Structure 1
Amino acid sequence: MKMRVSAVQFALKDVDSVEEWSAQIRHYVRNASEYGAQFVLFPEFVTTPLLGIGEASGGAGRPIETLTAYTDMYTGLFSELARESGMYLFAGTHVTKRGESLRNSAFLFKPDGTWHTQDKLHITPTEVESWNVQPGDGVSVIDTPFGKIGLLTCYDIEFPEIVRMVRAKGANVIFCPSCTDDRHGYYRVRYCCHARAVENQIYIVTTGTVGSLSRVDFMRANYGQAAVITPNDIPFPPRGIMSEGEINADMLITADLDLSLLDDIREAGSVTTWRDRRTDLYTDWQ
């Protein structure tokens, strides 16, 4: 079975209205639809340009909790686009409220317009200290006609244990939206994506923000690149990269994932890392 995925290198830019931001989202969804994509991934913090509406360039932007006022607009827009396009839309992440705490929540909108959320589990120091974002409480996998998939955000991919749990629950593909402001952060996420693909013999689809917001603190610089990452074995490209974008370009990439190849290499690959894990010494902690 094959599934076609697209990943958007979303260009953060100052906008003066919700409509201007929404038009940018619609553009990318239509672009992916023209390529016949079935799954589309947007990056982390995709709604942060909304914090600069009405602000002057060089200002700090409105407080991060302001984003929670846009949740109905955000879910309405992506739900509509998922229904219209018939695609699964991984709508990046959006700041939401759980009781009195803020969460960095990843959303998947399904072709019927419903959605699934997965809160980010590991929170970076900047998110905690500057925005008071709190970690999520658990992880789940999502059923699709193409099998189970996982949704882990940025810093989450740097923790092997949580990826192993998601694979143990049956996920063959993990979608990883991210947001990194410099090359150090970008390569941390990117190299960890490769490691997780090798360890678990899975595909990882990742993308990050590019561009800059002159009106919003902590979003003034972005360094990103989309990639579709594979295990490193003979059926796949030697570098484990099926597709990747141009660094910091405003664009999307598209690739076909052959899920049957994962079964082949788990059974008879050059190495069989998933089968050979030592659950007598360490568990998958389901």
Structure 2
Amino acid sequence: MIDSAKIELRYLSVKDYKELKISMIESYDSMPGEYWSEGEIKNLIKKFPEGQLCIVIDEKIAGCALSIIVDYNKFDDNHTYLQIIGGETFSTHTKTGDVLYGIDVFIHPEYRGMRLGRRLYEARKELCEQLNLKAIVFGGRIPNYGQYAEELTPKKYIEKVKLKEIHDPVLSFQLSNDFHVKKVIKGYLPGDHESKEYATLMEWNNIYYTKPDKIFTSQKTVVRLGLVQWQMRLFKNFDALVAQIEFFVDAVSDYQSDFILFPELFNAPLMADYNHLNEAEAIRSLASYTDRLLETFSDFAITYNINIITGSMPQIIGEHMYNVGYLCRRDGSYERYEKLHITPAEESAWGMKGGTKLKTMDTDCGKIGVLICYDVEFPELPRLLAEQEMNILFVPFMTDTQNGYSRVRLCAQARAIENECYVAIAGSVGNLPKVNNMDIQYAQSAVFTPSDFSFPVNGIKAEATPNTESTLLVDVDLDLLKELHNFGSVRNLKDRRLDLYKLKLKGKDNN
């Protein structure tokens, strides 16, 4: 884990050049002396600022992707690198072109293995779509080809890389990011001895090419949610629990999900080792894992490029124990949320206390709120979050019987209608016979919507199979909420009689 690291994907600035040069020199270790001059970077930024992207970690340039727009009809597929960039003036760049041409991408050696290259490629794809360009094209090196040149032609080498019989650090990565080989070019980049001066002309086609132009923004309007319906089972140790967590994070991130939601107290199986203690002592022992789990989730959020809502875990602060969770953002930052209303069973069996903090949290997909289980049964809380412009409410829960589940589900559906927002709930299933007070679980995870013409008639976007371990992947459109707020059949937020009543949040912790 990179301690206290914050990852930022943004446009490159001229002020970044000093750090950029250091990063380029260390990244191009196989091609010493090959890096962009300050004049060239200034020219690129001046001509096409949106096409120059960088990833910054703790004020260091961890990676960079440079590109121009070209009229591809002016070139054939046998062009060279120097021809396509038009020299240091980048005279081939034109705003009226139809192809986004990638002229460089690199990741600093210190930060490789963190999937930062994937982020840069995804940002390029988004830019290509928003500028309504036909495709992304670039010439890719094949640095491992030199090891096979005597026995394989470039064509045979590429086939073996596609079949995963050979790994090429550049081509394998590009193929895994949905680029295909359009052609093999000889002499594309003179001096590239590792590739024997061969290059693969790579292409990614924009299937939305007919869409109108869009302004490049960092905030998405269609957001993909991944919900984990977690199977309660006994784990051999902490590492086994972490392995199961990573399985779900990996699986959901493979579908380019923006969020993954875990249930309340999903780590309860670790209490099996403390079943000889009374219930209050056992859950306090469980709290000893919370800091390690936070570090694990924060690592996974960065590595798998996904915002993680960690469900909830017990945490001891001072003399008291609380039920808390974390939003671990994919930029490396995190934020805590707390269960405010403690159930009678939690208080009597575990001695838990209710938290004091209620607020929305900013993400790269807009403002969200998180309420843990019982909290969603109090309509004041989601309404206060809605007044802070929350679009998605996440509800990690844990219910033993179908009665308890119905309370959470029905209240969550009501909250979606009342507050004109999406509500995602995720719970646990199965049995824990060796953990007191956690014997049985019942859940059906789901995503609920407002009830109007743009949404499902029953207000249910999607739901999992009851009481079966699974994941649920759901796309929600934030633009539909904006339309609902202003033009819905009814307008629950706008039509409130604030002349008769008003809801107010108290306490310094909620400012």
TM-score by length of 2: 0.54
TM-superposed deviation, 1:279: 1.5
2:436 pairs with 1:182: no
**Amino acid in structure 2 at the alignment position of 1:4:** R
**Amino acid in structure 2 at the alignment position of 1:12:** M
TM-superposed deviation, 1:86: 0.9
**Amino acid in structure 1 at the alignment position of 2:488:** G
Which stretches in structure 1 are left out of the alignment for 5+ residues?
none
**Amino acid in structure 2 at the alignment position of 1:233:** D
**Amino acid in structure 2 at the alignment position of 1:8:** V
Q: Which residue number corresponds to residue 305 of structure 2?
A: 86
Is the CA contact 1:51–1:63 (under 8 Å) kept in the aligned structure 2? yes
Bigger mean CA deviation after superposition, 64-73 or 8-17: 64-73
Distance 1:113 1:52 in 2: 32
Runs of 4+ in structure 1 displaced over 4 angstroms? 59-62
Is the CA contact 1:105–1:117 (under 8 Å) kept in the aligned structure 2? yes
Q: Which residue number corresponds to residue 3 of structure 1?
A: 223
**Amino acid in structure 2 at the alignment position of 1:148:** K
Q: How many residues align?
A: 284
Provide Cα deviations, 1:92-123, integer angstroms capped at 9, x if missing partner: 10100121000000211111232111110011
Q: Which residue number corresponds to residue 284 of structure 1?
A: 503
Q: Which residue number corresponds to residue 324 of structure 2?
A: 105
Distance 2:370 2:343 in 1: 17
Distance 1:83 1:28 in 2: 15
Is the CA contact 1:62–1:216 (under 8 Å) kept in the aligned structure 2? no
Bigger mean CA deviation after superposition, 127-136 or 15-24: 15-24
Pairwise mapping of residues 56-75 of structure 1 onto structure 2 (< 5 A)? 63-75=282-294
Bigger mean CA deviation after superposition, 107-116 or 239-248: 107-116
Is the CA contact 2:275–2:436 (under 8 Å) kept in the aligned structure 1? no
Identify which of 477, 482, 487 aligns with 1:258. Answer: 477
Distance 2:339 2:279 in 1: 24
Q: In structure 2, the residue corresponding to 1:176 is in which secondary structure?
A: strand
**Amino acid in structure 1 at the alignment position of 2:469:** D
Q: Which residue number corresponds to residue 114 of structure 1?
A: 333
Q: Work out the percentage of aligned pairs sharing the same amino acid.
A: 37
Bigger mean CA deviation after superposition, 184-193 or 108-117: 108-117
**Amino acid in structure 1 at the alignment position of 2:233:** K
Distance 1:184 1:226 in 2: 15
Q: Which residue number corresponds to residue 23 of structure 1?
A: 243
Distance 1:60 1:98 in 2: 18
**Amino acid in structure 2 at the alignment position of 1:36:** Q
Pairwise mapping of residues 176-215 of structure 1 onto structure 2 (< 5 A)? 176-215=395-434
Is the CA contact 1:9–1:209 (under 8 Å) kept in the aligned structure 2? yes
Q: In structure 2, the residue corresponding to 1:233 is in which secondary structure?
A: coil
TM-superposed deviation, 1:46: 1.2
Is the CA contact 2:426–2:444 (under 8 Å) kept in the aligned structure 1? yes
Distance 2:389 2:288 in 1: 35
TM-superposed deviation, 1:19: 1.3
Distance 1:148 1:253 in 2: 21
Query: CA-atom RMSD, angstroms?
Result: 1.5
**Amino acid in structure 2 at the alignment position of 1:142:** M
Distance 1:282 1:104 in 2: 32
Which stretches in structure 2 are left out of the alignment for 5+ residues?
1-220, 506-511
TM-superposed deviation, 1:30: 0.9
Pairwise mapping of residues 155-166 of structure 1 onto structure 2 (< 5 A)? 155-166=374-385
Distance 2:469 2:489 in 1: 37
Identify which of 268, 274, 298 aligns with 1:48. Answer: 268
Q: Which residue number corresponds to residue 350 of structure 2?
A: 131
Distance 2:333 2:232 in 1: 26
Identify which of 12, 33, 36 aligns with 2:253. Answer: 33
Is the CA contact 2:342–2:353 (under 8 Å) kept in the aligned structure 1? yes
Q: Which residue number corresponds to residue 70 of structure 2?
A: none
**Amino acid in structure 2 at the alignment position of 1:10:** W
Distance 2:492 2:275 in 1: 51
TM-superposed deviation, 1:169: 1.1
Distance 2:396 2:408 in 1: 10
Provide Cα deviations, 1:222-267, integer angstroms capped at 9, x if missing partner: 0001101100101000111111100011101011110010111111
Q: In structure 2, the residue corresponding to 1:162 is in which secondary structure?
A: helix
TM-superposed deviation, 1:278: 1.4
Q: In structure 2, the residue corresponding to 1:106 is in which secondary structure?
A: strand
Q: Which residue number corresponds to residue 492 of structure 2?
A: 273
Distance 1:127 1:110 in 2: 29
Is the CA contact 2:280–2:349 (under 8 Å) kept in the aligned structure 1? no
Is the CA contact 2:369–2:394 (under 8 Å) kept in the aligned structure 1? yes
Provide Cα deviations, 1:59-89, integer angstroms capped at 9, x if missing partner: 9796110122112221121111111011000
Q: In structure 2, the residue corresponding to 1:285 is in which secondary structure?
A: coil
Identify which of 364, 386, 400 aligns with 1:145. Answer: 364
Q: Which residue number corresponds to residue 462 of structure 2?
A: 243
TM-superposed deviation, 1:284: 3.1
Is the CA contact 2:413–2:459 (under 8 Å) kept in the aligned structure 1? yes
